A and B are shown apart, each in its own frame.
Chain A
Amino acid sequence: MTNRKLLLEHLDVPGIQGIDAYVKHGGYASLKKALQKMSPDEVVEEVKKSGLRGRGGAGFPTGLKWSFLAKPEGIPRYLVCNADESEPGTFKDRYLMEKIPHLLVEGMILSSYALGAKTSYIYIRGEFMYVLEILQNAINEAYAKGYLGKNIFGSGFDHDLVITPGGGAYICGEETALLESLEGKRGNPRIKPPFPAVKGLWASPTVVNNVESIAAVVPIVRDGGDAYASIGIGKSTGTKLVSACGNLERPGVYEIELGLSVEEFIYGDNYCRGIAKGKKLKACVPGGSSVPILPHHLVTKTAAGEQRLMTYESLADGGFQSGSMLGSGGFIVFDEDQCIVRNTWNFTRFYAHESCGQCSPCREGTGWMEKVLHRLETGKGHLRDIDLLADINKKIEGNTICPLGDAAAWPVAAAIRHFRDEFEWHVTHPEEAQIRNYGLIQQPLVA
């Protein structure tokens, strides 16, 4: 399989963080093309044609999302970039912003032109302060060159781009919580409807997109939507940044063409080069901590025996029974020495810590699961606790305001489904479970 790169193409160019090197390698050409030769609707049409799907995790078609934006007269519209990347295992957006900040800036101006937004915002995670400085630098450079501000490229299009840091809360990555936080309020998700496309930031129509989705608009406008759609398989088009981590020989951020086989991605020489230290693959979480875990026999092959590919459809093949999700592209790999119970507890601890506490199933349920899992992990659990966990996460799933509840419930459900014997082992071998944990952190993160 060829390995075309659209986003990280010029990654190795020295000084690509600066505007001069970026422009020299074709930067801001898409913006010029769009502003001088295309109408906003034509840009939206190209994005629709490209089949680009939201890269933040849900995989909703970006063009379709844009077309839902309400356009009432006299009310401003906003584009907000969700750079609050905090999912455990996902670090692709940070990498992109850090290495090629102008790609995001260009994408923001371009997308704002398509949506008719006069002001757009980048909401960046509070822990990424150094990335904020890099981006702010890029924005200043763009203003100096006249790519931002009044009358860009003589087209009469004015645009301002503002970057705002969050306070480092995972929940502010949920689009309505992000908007609340951006408005200066407590980051609690809003109750939908109304959706942000109708009533978003400051009660105005708003589109919230992931960093990678916005960056992908640049090559789409440059090459045309059809060219982008020709990459990939079926409804999974284009390229995707995947942040591979865990027990891999060569972890890191890779830009892959959707449709690459999972086997090639894990073992291929161009990619992760197999499991570290020659160990065996035990399990894999293919799309960030909130997607179901896959046991080794379901990672490279689906339950039906077909080859599993890095596409939205193939990874979801078999539903939650034997599949998972592409999610945000946080590819976490576990070798044979890793404890699934410990990992599940770790993920749940994260969600219990990050739940906003607004709706009861998530507030109480995540904390409860964390406590039960902690007991199981330290050898103080009972066999009935496993069924209890399965029941708790069934009561959380789908009953919450925002998807954080689902995100907390799915990994637990999948871990119990595929690794029940390991949970039982922790109950039946409490001493061994405790000895194995010797020296590791025993107390929950949230005191």
Chain B
Amino acid sequence: MVKVTIDGVEVSVEPGTTILNAARQIGGDVVPPAMCYYSKLPGTGGKCRTCLVEVAAGSAADPRPMPKLVASCSTPVQDGMVVNNKSSQRVHDNRGGVVEFLLANHPLDCPICDQAGECHLQDLGYEHGSAKTRYEEDRRIFEPIDIGNKIKLHMNRCILCYRCVYVANQLTDKRVHGVLHRGEHAEISTYIEQAVDNDFSGNMIDVCPVGALTDRTFRFKSRVWFLKPMEAERSCSKCCGKAVVWMFGNEIYRVTARKDQFGEVEEIEQKTAWLCNDCRFEKKEVTDWNVLGPRVINRQSVISQGKYATTIDKPVKRIS
């Protein structure tokens, strides 16, 4: 085991653990945000640069600080490493810069975006972004396209995290989509407009941190915070059948995988609980599912709106 100190909190982790995963073991405020890293998809990470942290001491053997900020998702810890995340102004400034870059070409169409309310870029913008933009140029524009009959791609909103490409690489047998062009013109696209047709392609929607890939069976049906997330399961021959169904009254509006506090699909019985397209897109009747009970929601999340009585709802002082 190696010891690493992150924002003054010491933690012992397995050798080879990345700084980000060590921070996740501590939890709370010291966890750097991650837009492209996805622990369930090997190979992801290093691209978005939002998880940059400052290494104040490389290791006990060589306590020199690292000159550059490092991507915590792809830098393994060393014994005696001292890392500053929240406590470093330099990290805060540069992360703000990265958020500004991510938002530079983003259309900011949250009011009509299905991801609003559960969007990582929204959270990140709220924490690090500034209220005004300095970007006066024309934003790059793509037409939304359908990839397959179930998934819509809004390239304008994409931050090119490559997660969906890794899903296609690792979950489906034949990858038919990837990144075209380069630089500012890079875009996610299907191989010569070919439709993505695979039983597990729907998981792209779950891993997408923004509203670039959305569920066509749910688009514009409802805002996510009007729905009640319920844990549900069904027996499925293709996948684990353990999902979250988002209900309004007695109707199922959409089905997603169960996600943990970092927005990643949960592991159930040591296996990542990916969903097949049947469960995700076809099974929208209450009779299809065995609804287990309400899903625990983070109180700070916008999805908890109206679902818990908050202190502000209670009368502070009786007015008579």
Residue numbers of A with Cβ under 8 A of B are 169, 171, 186, 191, 193, 352-361, 363-368, 371-372, 375, 388, 394-395, 398-401, 446
Contacts and interface: CB of A to CB of B under 8 A. Distances in A.
Interface stretch (B80-88, B99-107, B149-157, B227-235): B99-107
Contacts of B137: 368, 371-372, 375
B212 interface: no
B98 interface: yes
Given A367-B105, A399-B69, 15 more contacts: A352-B183, A356-B183, A357-B179, A357-B184, A357-B186, A359-B47, A359-B48, A363-B160, A363-B186, A364-B104, A364-B105, A375-B137, A395-B94, A399-B52, A399-B68
Contacts of B102: 360, 364
A186 B189 CA distance: 14
Given A363-B160, A363-B186, A372-B137, A357 B98 contact: no
A272 B185 CA distance: 40
B184 to A, nearest CB: 4
B45 interface: yes
Interface residues of B, number: 35
6 contacts: A352-B183, A353-B183, A357-B183, A367-B184, A395-B97, A399-B98
B44 to A, nearest CB: 10
A186 B179 contact: yes
A395 B98 contact: yes
Interface in B149-189: 159-160, 162, 178-179, 181-186
Interface in B82-139: 94, 97-98, 100-102, 104-105, 134-135, 137
Contacts of A186: 178-179
Contacts of B101: 360-361, 363-365, 368, 395
B184 A361 contact: no
Nearest to B104: A364
Q: Among A353, A358, A360, which residue has the most Cβ atoms of chain B within 10 A?
A: A360
Nearest to B46: A191
Contacts of A368: 101, 104, 135, 137
Contacts of A446: 183-185
Given A191-B71, A364-B102, A364-B104, A359 B183 contact: no
Nearest to B52: A399
Nearest to A191: B46
A380 to B, nearest CB: 10
Interface string B30-53: 000000000000000111111010
Nearest to A398: B68
A191 B74 contact: yes
Contact of B183 (A355, A372, A399): A355
Given A368-B104, A399-B49, A361 B97 contact: yes
Contacts of A399: 49, 52, 68-69, 94, 97-98
A357 B160 contact: yes
A274 B137 CA distance: 41
6 smallest CB-CB distances across A and B, nearest first, come from A395-B97, A357-B186, A367-B184, A355-B183, A191-B46, A364-B101
Given A398-B69, A399-B94, A366 B183 contact: yes
A204 to B, nearest CB: 19
A365 B134 CA distance: 12
B53 to A, nearest CB: 12
A413 B97 CA distance: 16
Nearest to B187: A357
A54 B162 CA distance: 33
Contacts of A357: 160, 179, 181-186
Nearest to B71: A191
Contacts of A366: 183-184
B184 A355 contact: yes
Contacts of B74: 191
B160 A191 contact: no
Contacts of A361: 49, 97-98, 101
B189 to A, nearest CB: 13
B47 A360 contact: yes
Nearest to B100: A395
Contacts of B183: 352-357, 363, 366-367, 446
Nearest to B102: A360
A191 B104 contact: no
Nearest to B161: A360
A400 B71 CA distance: 9
B105 A359 contact: no
Contacts of A394: 97
Nearest to B135: A368
B185 A360 contact: no
A354 B185 CA distance: 10
A97 B104 CA distance: 43
Nearest to B67: A398
A364 B98 CA distance: 9
Contacts of A352: 183-184
A356 B182 contact: yes
A401 B104 contact: no
B49 A359 contact: yes
A174 to B, nearest CB: 13
A359 to B, nearest CB: 5
B22 to A, nearest CB: 17
A356 to B, nearest CB: 5
B182 A191 contact: no
A398 B134 CA distance: 21
B45 to A, nearest CB: 7
Contacts of B178: 186
